[in-house]
Amino acid sequence: FRTNSAGLADVKERTLIAVKPDGVQRRLVGQIIRRFEQRGFKLVGLKMLQVSEGLLAQHYCQLTQKPFYSSLVEYMTSGPVVVMVWEGHNVVQSSRVMVGATNPAAAPAGTVRGDFSLHVSRNVVHASDSLEGAQREIQLWFQGKELVEWDCWDQTLTCEK
């Protein structure tokens, strides 16, 4: 169990989750949110937007030289996305498990991609892949004032104090 410097469980960890344009068009936003809520994570930021190519280039800065980058831009700008920040113990790693492998063919049933998608070019959802990545992406997509600090009454039921 990871603890912070005060010896308390690290329940403040945050990650960025985005429902991509195919997920929004297919009305999967509610089902995806439900999975994170029922797991015990806390929603601290949420918005819908049409992504610009500039923002995408920063978000996917490690992929801009890939052969599929232009089709990725076309896909990600084809309609609005719903972007969220979720908070809770081990949320970065647990979200990656909940979302499943990048290629849906390798994503087990029970994961978002394994349940709702077929092909790597239409894989419904994004989840930050590391603590550093999550921090970078949250700063990129959200202003500090858009994130809400609030106490969830059941926090002591889902996590040791």
List, as residue ranges, the binding site for ATP.
20, 68, 96, 102, 113, 123
CB nearer ligand IDP, residue 90 or residue 103: 103
Q: Shortest approach of ligand IDP to residue 53 CB, angstroms?
A: 15
CB nearer ligand IDP, residue 68 or residue 105: 68
The DSSP line for 70-136 is HHHHHHHTSS-EEEEEEESTTHHHHHHHHH--SSGGGSPBTBHHHHH---GGG--EEE--SHHHHHH
d(CA 158, CA 133): 25
Stretch that binds ligand IDP, among 21-29, 78-86, 118-126, 136-144 (CB under 6 A): 118-126
Q: Does 126 bind ligand IDP (CB under 6 A)?
A: yes
Q: Which long-range contacts (CB under 8 A, 24 or more apart) does 58-62 make?
A: 58/140, 59/137, 59/140, 59/141
Q: From the list 25, 52, 53, 68, which residue makes contact with ligand IDP (rule: CB under 6 A)?
A: 68
Q: Does 72 bind ligand IDP (CB under 6 A)?
A: yes
Q: From the list 29, 43, 55, 120, which residue makes contact with ligand IDP (rule: CB under 6 A)?
A: 120
